[in-house]
Structure 1
Amino acid sequence: MRHLAFVTCISLLATPLLAGSAIAMSDADNACIDQLRVVGGPDGASGKVLSSEFSEAGTLVMLEDGGGTVWRCIAYKDGAIGELSVVEAADDGGGAMSGPGAAKPTTDTQRVRFDTGSTGAEISASLTPGSSTRYVLGAKDGQFLYVRVAPKSGSLGYLIQNPDGSALLDFMTPDKEYRGQLWQSGDHVIEVVNNGSTDAGYNVIFGIE
């Protein structure tokens, strides 16, 4: 059976993913499990699906690997993965999160500030596999936001959230820049995610007018 290690764990969940079946596996679940096995090291070879929430924009799948690390995954109808990032890292002392030189996936937050008189900023950074950085920009309803992610290496994507936590832009690949008018005032979050298996370097450009 496909993904046996994960299916076995799912059968132990108190609430089945789909009514009437404790081991129901969607295409999105399988796609996320496949990607976790690529980037998760030894711990990613087993685990359980904690939840799976379908929407037209993409299915949000929460996973826990064999080492206890919780992952957030967004999968699309065609089986493509939009995001795979760590929500809560765990070190089991002997798996993917340990060993010389092993880097734990992280999610960092950084506030973006523009120089006096400037309407934009550019930041250079890098991310380890599964990691992300949340860039916070204060902006007002009616202003226009511009975002461009320029990868130097690796596999990246980004998404944008409104101040109330709703999605302004679902997960997007860096070949497409964003330019649009805002409809809320407050802190907007642009999260850049490394959804590949190697380190990823990039420049990210922000503008608000």
Structure 2
Amino acid sequence: MKRVIVLTILLLMFGTSVLAQPSTAERVSFAAGATSATVSGTVDGTGSRAYVLYAFAGQRMDLTLNAASLTLVSPSGIPLVRGTVTADPVHAYNDILPETGDYTILVSIPSGTGATNYSLTISITGDAIRKTDAERISFQPGMTGAVVNGWVSQSSSDKYLLYAFAGQNMEIALDLLSASITLISPTGTVLIDHGTVDTDFVQVFNQTLPQTGDYTIQVHESGTALLPYTLDVSVDALPGETDDVQRISFAPGAISATVTGALNPSDTASYVLRAFAGQQMSITLNAATLTVVSPSGVPLVRGTVTAEPVRNFSQTLPETGDYRIVVSLAPTQAATNYSLTTTVTGAIIRHEETERISFAPGAVSAILTGTITDAAMDNYVLYAFAGQSMTVTVEGAYLTVVSPSGSPLARAQAGATTMTTTLPETGDYRVSVSNPSGTGTLNYTLTVSITG
């Protein structure tokens, strides 16, 4: 089994993970100044009781249940403890939380068991993981936005870096109304200085970017209390998605291509080339200077910020997607012709094991692409809840979906390529993409969404 995986996540502004919240979940909140709360109820063998609680990465969660069994799922849909699959009931959990967002807690008993009364105590202690250095914001391939969370007070501010291109529009949305935003350009020009927006909902800032490079975003708080915030940052279409960018493609059987052009002072020329994680990319430029940006927006080399022009690049690629190559000329340099040669060699990184699909907070779908050989199969697993609606579609291959208890919901043998169903149980659903014998190597696109 060999495959290439590209994950694309649809983010909803300030949303929480649909995967991690059944529609019947009860939200748990603590009294002012408290660090714990107790809930109680009755559960029988026909279902489970669900609770949801927002907590931060780095805090400690302590759960104690006096009866029934406990399941805990992270904001991105990863089960941290699964009482539904253990021989003995799980009555406790105590650990440092791995991420920030809504955690889902399920209380359940085995099917056919009589009604059981329970009491669940939830405790959250410790500080959230604080940002001591600037955190780089990067987008998933194909995405134009990302959501980050943090804590801020008068004694500290949080700092982020985001690589973006001249002419793009950046939108920054902040849900903490008492906080302010500072935006600084790559050359140090302050574009927004402790900006605030008079609103009752979310502060939204828009800025057309004057140049290409790393922009600094700072979140400040005027009060002394340490307060949580959610920051949503997006930009409009990246280079590679406009008519001004030329796509580089290789001739059949070739591993390199050369493009040429001419630049005037302050001009740039942009190219885009799709390549895979694990491959080696080499670029040679005979004039001007070179910038290379990964599919998620992380600069791999930045000729615009070096004293000497950058004309060579060679690196093993960190991810799969469209790489952006920018050739630029400084304002003080004379007009010049250039020749750019790009070479891609080597095998791509392939995953042999079952791949877990998890959604970022606010995500309701994921798109995965891969390549399977004759009579091969790629396997995925996704944790979801009874009563949610799952839609799975594959293009270019066939689909099998199996419930946590082993019941087939879709069969490749029957020619299935799509499935929409209300999920019958809570747990890990297995999704397999297969290629019938005799059909050769196929590329496929798998789309999975969860609602409800």
Task: Provide TM-score, normalisation by structure 1.
Answer: 0.48
Specify which structure has the higher proportion of strand. Answer: 2
Specify which structure has the higher proportion of helix. Answer: 1
Larger Rg: 2
